[in-house]
Structure 1
């Protein structure tokens, strides 16, 4: 692991035992919201039904329709929203479910990784995290969670 940012995120957030009994992507989202102290979230598509679950675990989070600290969606849902990656805040995160569900999703994930605004991606098999840290060199990671 070459990135202190990613190392800390993985060891101090993702690998921490929390006792959360949630689907993997929701568990990653709740852990990430708490770790990064995100204030706003944009839930897209089927993830809109997760609003109450997230609110119970992260009572301070605000649900918005744009300019959120964290966006949670399936990789296919990205096509249905007008998301300008160049305008996302430096510390924002996309958490995308289903990146390996089929070839089309995997190809979309691979294309997203090549976007000039994307600097860090973390492939967790079930889902993928995308970061836009301008101070960091472009790196891609695969981890087990």
Structure 2
């Protein structure tokens, strides 16, 4: 597990942290939460559309972790570039659900930003869980 970009041994996650999460922006949080802005920024960086509908077949899915079961996440990670799972630490049951996802063998990359988690399937990458600080200073 890594706690910052400097402890990250994955080029994919390091690049995400360095070029998106921890890069300064002129955008300020207006009309949305800081989490909303960061999710939009990550999706824009990778050129994927954000969806809230699980029945979609591509893009990035943005839902509360409370809406999904473990088996659904395993299936959805193959259809979407990213799964943005909100509220991962909102309650003890949500935290347990998130921890179960990070331990699931078929899920290769999980990133914990406290307010939301990211799940993505990366072919050729070994299973890894990352914990990155949310960039409060950014917005």
TM-score (norm 1): 0.75
For the aligned residue pairs, the C-alpha RMSD in angstroms reads 2.2
Aligned length: 123
Which consecutive residues of structure 1, in runs of 5 or more, have no partner in the other structure? 45-63
Following superposition, the deviation at residue 3 of structure 1 comes to 0.5
Which consecutive residues of structure 2, in runs of 5 or more, have no partner in the other structure? 1-7, 135-139
Following superposition, the deviation at residue 6 of structure 1 comes to 0.3
Following superposition, the deviation at residue 90 of structure 1 comes to 7.7
| CA distance in 2: counterparts of 1:117 and 1:33, whole angstroms | 23
Following superposition, the deviation at residue 87 of structure 1 comes to 6.0
- Structure having greater relative contact order (Cα 8 Å, sep ≥ 6): 2
Following superposition, the deviation at residue 91 of structure 1 comes to 6.9
Report the more deviating stretch, 83-92 or 131-140. Answer: 83-92
SS of alignment partner, residue 125 of structure 2: coil
Equivalent residue for 1:11? 18
| CA distance in 2: counterparts of 1:68 and 1:8, whole angstroms | 22
* Structure 1 segments (4+ residues) deviating >3 Å: 86-91
Equivalent residue for 2:125? 136
1:91–1:133 Cα contact (<8 Å) kept: no
